[in-house]
Amino acid sequence: MPFSDYRTALVTGASSGIGAAVVERLCGEGLAVHAVARSAEPLENLARRTGCIAHVLDVTDRAGLARLTGEIAFDVLVNNAGVDRPKKFLEADEEDIDLLVDVNLRAVLHLCRLVVPGMVARDRGHVINISSIAAAYNFGGNSTYHATKAAVSMLSRQLRIDAFGRRVRVTEICPGRVATEIFAHVHGDTPEIRERFIAGYELPEASDIANAIAFAIAAPVAVNIGHMEITPTLQVPGGLSTARPDLPPATV
């Protein structure tokens, strides 16, 4: 069980949802888990509940990340922090593009830059990148999010090439809809939003994603589980649209 080979973990976006569930799961396996998030109060509550080490830190704070990763050699890195601003690209604005690129992609690149070389030098480590089914399938009105998650997907594959010959494993987790607070964060915490995205649906919980991550880590060190797509049984991505030029464009 490689859990016994690993001592430390770094989890971003750890204050709620999938991140908090991953922190709890890894703490339960005996790792010293460093939990990074911007929200101080839920992060402190998580630390009291799980024993994790809390760091109130924005993943766009490159100097702060460099200090943290310079002080601790991490065996497991879970890049979970992410944001979304659903909008057609024809209506995209500068601030939204910069935010999604900075959080969803640039922070992942820099954390891998800071952490993976140490894993390679120690011949031990596991990178977990939380992307999305949006990395592989197109939905209407979410272009920048798709672009950043597709980049994380390609990075995940490229990391294995760059670390080839060393026992550094990389797993990309691609969730579909999961019952977390992300929809409230993105669209507002209202009864209408809960009805639209959560209520009445049979959805995976954050703990299900955390358990899948634990499964990948717990595999024998000779086994790399490279990609997991995790969706509700009653959700199917993909589709096909055809427009007639004599009719107005459909609103997605």
Kindly list the catalytic residues: 145
SS (H, E, C) the chain: CHHHHCCEEEEECCCCHHHHHHHHHHHHCCCEEEEEECCHHHHHHHHHHHCCEEEECCCCCHHHHHHHHHHCCCCEEEECCCCCCCECHHHCCHHHHHHHHHHHHHHHHHHHHHHHHHHHHHCCEEEEEECCHHHCCCCCCEHHHHHHHHHHHHHHHHHHHHCCCCCEEEEEEEECCCECCHHHHHHCCCHHHHHHHCCCCCCCEHHHHHHHHHHHHHCCCCCCCCEEEECCCCCCCCCCCCCCCCCCCCCC
